[in-house]
Amino acid sequence: MVGDIWYLSGMKRGIVIIALAAVPAFADDVYLRGGGQITGEIVEQTEDSVTVDVGGGGTITARMSSVVRIEKGTSPLQEYRTRADGIADDDAEAWRELARWATSHALSSQALKAWTQVVSILPDDQEANRTLGRVQINGQWVTEEESYRAQGYIEFEGHWMTPGERQAILADRQDREETDRRANEATIKEIDTAIEEEKQQKEDARRDAWDRNPVPWGWGYGPTYWPQPRQPWQEDGRR
């Protein structure tokens, strides 16, 4: 199917291909060679290509040479647009009904638009505000972010918390880093000590071997072997 699609807008190709199977019936179906299928609303068709709106702001364009057949129908997206065009801007109940319908047909972006329209007409509507993720503070509906900030919270690493909690986290991290640093220094010191001890043991062993195997040299005892310089006649193999 990827070989048949030559233009994609608004979303990643892999996501679109997976999402196509979840599109409700009564949509436009474009069947491709090799068994591929694009389902959505045909927004443009020429002799060379066909472009399909698959919802969520994404479109797919395929070459007509790769198209086996096209079966047109009425998709939920098409129906949403038709119904939205027929609703007055100040008809809150009609927008509410459309928002619920869009939600039931997995049109999340369109549902969001419809609920936003309800709030613009009825700012205190509980259903619309809660669906949009808003909360009520002091009698006013605000976004989740606004509500946290109004309560003195700050956002830190994807979480809302008090400044004191943030400071505690940073202090704990600093303590752990200091503990790790000291532990590393102790480990390095242990390694250095072990190396020095090994050197000392080798030196003690060498001296002990010297002391245990003395050789009389006339004026006293010395090592069992005394290296002699190599003579010139030994360099060329002469004896």
- Predicted pLDDT at 147: 76
Which pLDDT score, from 0 to 100, does residue 21 have?
41
Q: Which residues of 17-44 are buried (b: 16+ CB within 10 A; e: fewer)?
A: bebbeebeeebbbbbbeeebebbbbbee
Angle at CA 107, nearest 5°, toward 100 and 44? 135
Please, what are the domains in the chain? 2-74 (2.30.30.100), 78-151 (1.25.40.10)
Q: What's the distance, Cα to Cα, between the start and end of the chain in Å?
A: 89
Contacts of 162 (CB under 8 A, 6+ apart): 152, 153, 154
Residue for token pair 């030559």: 6
pLDDT of residue 3: 46
Q: What is the signed CA dihedral for 100, 101, 107, 110, rounded to 10 degrees?
A: -70
**Distance between CA 163 and CA 2 in Å, rounded?**
50
Q: What's the confidence (pLDDT) of residue 14?
A: 38
pLDDT value at position 235?
Answer: 55
What is the gyration radius of the CA atoms in the chain, in angstroms?
41
Q: Name the DSSP letter for residue 137.
A: E
The tens place of each residue's pLDDT in the chain, 239 residues long, gives 444 455 444 433 433 343 344 444 457 889 999 989 998 888 899 999 999 988 776 899 999 999 999 988 777 888 899 999 999 999 999 999 999 999 998 899 999 999 999 999 999 999 999 999 888 888 888 887 877 887 788 888 888 888 888 888 998 998 999 999 999 999 999 999 999 999 888 888 888 776 666 555 555 555 555 455 555 555 555 54
Q: Nearest Cα to 113, choosing from 89, 146, 137?
A: 89
Residue 130's Cβ-side half-sphere holds a number of Cα atoms within 13 Å equal to 3
With contact defined as beta carbons under 8 Å apart, do 95 and 118 qualify? yes
**Stated pTM of the model:** 0.44
